[in-house]
Chain A
Amino acid sequence: MKLFEALGLNWKILIAQLVNFGLLIWILHKFGYGPIIKFIDERRKKIEKGLENAKLVEEKLKKADEAEKEIIISAKKEAQKIVSSSTELAQKNREEMIKKAEEEAQRILVSYEKKGKQEKDKIMNEAKKELSDLVIMATEKIISKNITTSSDREEIDKIILEKG
């Protein structure tokens, strides 16, 4: 094969080249492209995940915002309710208290009136009794004679009562 000779083809050299190139591919793949591609893929995944997370967070934030608003609104409503109910209650209490106080006042007034009247009656009675005693004493002195009989006494009492 003159052509092979002219081209310098030698099977030993060819095998050496083949081994050389095969080794080169293997090493470059194992230590070069492999790790780089892995890195790139990992980074891409990370970025994708990050973007997804960001989206998720944004959504959550939006939801949280809505929830916040809702909570605030409901809290306001609640507060309104509490204020109005407490105002009502206070109103009611006040009215009740006033009413009670009025009643109490009335009661006290009534009881004092009654007491006063009783006192007056009592004093009057005592005064009448004393007066009747005085009258009897005076009459005794005047007529110098003891009036002991009950019919007389009754007669006198009757007279005083009629007059007083």
Chain B
Amino acid sequence: MKLDISLAPNILFNLGSLPVTNTLFWSFILSVALIVVTLYMRYSLKRIPGRWQSILEILVEEGLNFVESIIGSRKKAKKVFPLVFTMFIFIVFANLLTFIPGQSALSIHTQSGDVAPFRAIMSDYGMVFVLTMISIITAQVVAIITHGPFGYLSKFINLKSPLAFVLGLMDLIGEVAKILSLSFRLFGNIFAGEVLGSVMLFLAPFFIPLPFALLGLITAIIQAFVFSLLTLIFISMASEMEKKEEQSQRECMV
């Protein structure tokens, strides 16, 4: 048995000029599964809900209420909710997918050697990076819409006083740092969990990996929650400038 750890995802096959990596492949599969479930649910919605519909409704309603409690108004919450909730669901299922047993036992022989067909989707930095960029860019767009282009720029380039100028630069750096902190938090946790899991499985295949798997399960859910919550906080921060300090305090706490 060979311990194979690679930072980059493995390419399974090429679709035209698009190299399909194992994480891309699984993110497609996951998306299709989520879409199928959603469509099925959409056409089985009833006025008097059954058990599954009740669970879904509670999930969606509580999610919406939570978003509302952070962003402040139901109107805003309804706009942000699809993005944040989809992120949460997508990341949760992406992380939980690795807990289907038997995955690491398989390998596929390709032109670039033996590759594992399964890999945690969020242990591919590219996927996390895309999600992060969506989150950060949405926040910036919301800020521009809220404060106007000049208001937005004056937050970063402020010539009123030397102190304000330095603070503006710090803000600029902070925005860039958000990309790194947000993306590497998720990527690092999941990737480390994967590596830890495979190392433990390599060293002691019975019983010892179980606590780590449990830890991984908790991480899977918590990181999904943290990522979507931070996205939500960035967007709500961008949508109201007055309460900025309070919000960044909350961000520090998370």
A interface residues (Cβ-Cβ under 8 A, vs B): 5-10, 12-14, 16-18, 20-25, 27-29, 31-33, 35-37, 39-40, 43
Interface residues on B, range: 35 or more
A-B contact count, CB below 8 Å? Answer: 104
Q: State in angstroms the CA–CA spacing of A20 and B90 once bound together.
A: 11
Task: Say which residue of B24, B38, B61, B127 sits within 8 Å of A28 (CB atoms).
Answer: B38
Tell me if B's interface is mostly helix, strand, loop or mixed: helix
Q: State in angstroms the CA–CA spacing of A22 and B41 once bound together.
A: 20
CB distance from A35 to the nearest CB of B (A): 6
B18, A28: Cβ atoms closer than 8 Å: no
Task: Say which residue of A5, A17, A35, A37 sits within 8 Å of B27 (CB atoms).
Answer: A17
Contacts A31-B39, A32-B60 known; list 17 others, CB within 8 Å.
A6-B7, A9-B125, A12-B18, A13-B21, A13-B24, A17-B126, A18-B133, A20-B27, A21-B27, A24-B34, A31-B38, A32-B41, A32-B42, A33-B60, A33-B82, A37-B64, A43-B47
B interface residues (Cβ-Cβ under 8 A, vs A): 7-9, 17-19, 21, 24, 27-28, 31, 34-35, 38-39, 41-42, 45, 47, 49, 56-57, 60-61, 64, 78, 81-83, 85-86, 89-90, 124-127, 129-131, 133-134
Q: State in angstroms the CA–CA spacing of A9 and B127 once bound together.
A: 9
Tell me if A's interface is mostly helix, strand, loop or mixed: helix
A25, B42: Cβ atoms closer than 8 Å: no
CB distance from A44 to the nearest CB of B (A): 9
Q: List 12 A-B contacts (CB under 8 A).
A: A8-B125, A12-B17, A14-B129, A17-B24, A21-B31, A21-B90, A24-B86, A25-B83, A28-B38, A28-B86, A29-B82, A31-B42
A28, B35: Cβ atoms closer than 8 Å: yes
CB distance from A27 to the nearest CB of B (A): 5
